[in-house]
Structure 1
Amino acid sequence: MASGEFVLETEGLSKEFKGFFAVRDVSLRVRKGDIHALIGPNGAGKTTVFNLLTKFLTPTAGRILYKGEEITKTGPADIARKGMVRSFQISAVFPHLSLLENVRIALQRELGTSFHFWKSDDSLSALNDRAMALLEAVGLTEFRNHTAGDLPYGRKRALEIAMALACEPRLLLLDEPTAGMTHEDIVRITDLIGRVSENRTVLMVEHNLSVVSNLSNVITVLQRGEILAEGPYEEVSKMPEVISAYLGTGHG
């Protein structure tokens, strides 16, 4: 299969902490246009892999390639500019600002004035249409003037996704997007992820297997920092070693 089909690839990715390998020899390939889920029991190394991909951690060994370009030593901000965006990377919600103001701040990068809080309100009003379109995309139009800090948890995560989308990601990384949510919020966010995945690639860490089965084209199962299995959910979920890994340690 041609490497151009893959937006993100890792080769032998490893992370060692004082003799303990949190991630060992992970070779991952995320195909363009897929929703690819990274799953596994507690302590499997999922979040460590995400932190390595987005440069919050430095690999002990291995390489990371984005659209065929090696980014192993590229900084987090440069990776975001290339179109690889992790939801909370840009979207630390500003709790005392309105939803509209939060999304406008995320859009400022296009003006070359990123995070210049002293810009006049008039100069930022040009971004209102784009900001409103993003709020509409995540189902938050009616809350546009609400203070972000007052949002229920599920809608706050939707705002984070809107802010990440403001960066026009080609690869959107979502770290446990439905964690801590009510059933109603899970349904809403699952639907949202399905909609925003059009024309972009999504890599997500997710504990909720019903969300994974509904959304994912491909899943990679980690156990003790290594890849245990990979493929379509329907196939992988029936593998005895995968069932054993989950039943042995729980889904946490």
Structure 2
Amino acid sequence: MNTVPEDYIIEAQGLSKHFHGFAAVQDVNLKIRRHSIHALIGPNGAGKTTVFNLLTKFLQPTAGTIRFNGRDITNVKPAEIARQGLVRSFQISAVFPRMTVRENVRIALQRKLGTAYHFWKSVSTLSVLDDRVDELLDSVGLRSFADYSAAELPYGRKRVLELATTLALEPEMLLLDEPTSGLGHEDVDRVAALIRKVSANRTVLMVEHNLSVVSSLSDRITVLAAGRILAEGNYETVSRDPRVIEAYIGGTDDE
């Protein structure tokens, strides 16, 4: 059956990025199917993070176009991309350490409402957000940690809190940069299960090194090597591709 254009939430065509003459990404054509979990993998130095930054507009492409929900967003700023429903989390946990877990999520909800910088408002005026805060904390298993400062949380729980603050923005598409990086086995399982849970009715694109997580979560995988797409397909297909095996064996350590 032919796939109609509306089936893809993001389409990148001829995406390239050069740094002082070095081609970090070269002629990448990428389509992300709506309501899927899509993984972007490859050996170190493959260009994964560069592609991620291009899609989220933290880098401007040297060439190529990016469309989100059919709109050309090639020259759109990151803040506007987020308002359109394309939201990313970062490889390093990005929370306010001196605020409580509850306060971190509330700030994210205020950002969604456009009141994040209304510091003169009393806490009582923000109580209307409390039900949604509790709902989000319940959904990610952090309700019992609501009154902890973010700094007190174990690293794995901080990553979960970051995901909760990202979900507070109600993204249509969620981009996750190394969501299980630095986590112990138990936390990896917890975060992977959470990604599966929050993927309902939204699209997820993740850059991830843990191939066990990739194999268990991903509907489709794009493999990058030397800034180009090497292979695409489900995990069984790409894991057996001789080019993919060779790329991982010969991978360098420059990203």
Same fold (TM over 0.5): yes
> Unpaired segments of 5 or more residues in structure 1?
none
Write the mapping of 1:94-133 to structure 2, written as runs, cut at 5 A: 94-133=96-135
- SS where residue 79 of structure 2 aligns? helix
Length-normalised TM-score, structure 2: 0.95
Match of 2:74 in 1: 72
1:40 pairs, out of 39, 42, 48, with 42
What's the RMSD between the two structures over aligned residues? 1.5
- SS where residue 193 of structure 2 aligns? helix
- SS where residue 250 of structure 2 aligns? helix
Match of 1:152 in 2: 154
Offset at residue 55 of structure 1 (A): 1.1
Match of 2:25 in 1: 23
Match of 2:84 in 1: 82
User: What's the CA shift string for 1:132-185, capped at 9, x where partnerless?
Assistant: 111111111100000001111111010011000001000000000000110111
1:217 pairs, out of 203, 216, 219, with 219
Length-normalised TM-score, structure 1: 0.96
- What is the rounded CA distance, in whole Å, between the counterparts of 2:251 and 2:42 in structure 1? 10
Q: Which amino acid aligns with 1:128?
A: D
- What is the rounded CA distance, in whole Å, between the counterparts of 2:170 and 2:179 in structure 1? 18
The answer on 1:241 being equivalent to 2:243 is yes
User: What's the CA shift string for 1:83-121, capped at 9, x where partnerless?
Assistant: 0000149x8311100000000000013443123233210
- SS where residue 169 of structure 1 aligns? coil
Match of 1:232 in 2: 234
- What is the rounded CA distance, in whole Å, between the counterparts of 1:22 and 1:209 in structure 2? 23
- What is the rounded CA distance, in whole Å, between the counterparts of 1:117 and 1:150 in structure 2? 24
- What is the rounded CA distance, in whole Å, between the counterparts of 2:208 and 2:57 in structure 1? 20
User: What's the CA shift string for 1:52-76, capped at 9, x where partnerless?
Assistant: 1111111000000001100000001
User: What's the CA shift string for 1:169-207, capped at 9, x where partnerless?
Assistant: 000000000001101110000000000000100000000
Q: Any conservation in 1 of the 2:45–2:251 contact (CA below 8 Å)?
A: no
1:188 pairs, out of 187, 190, 198, with 190
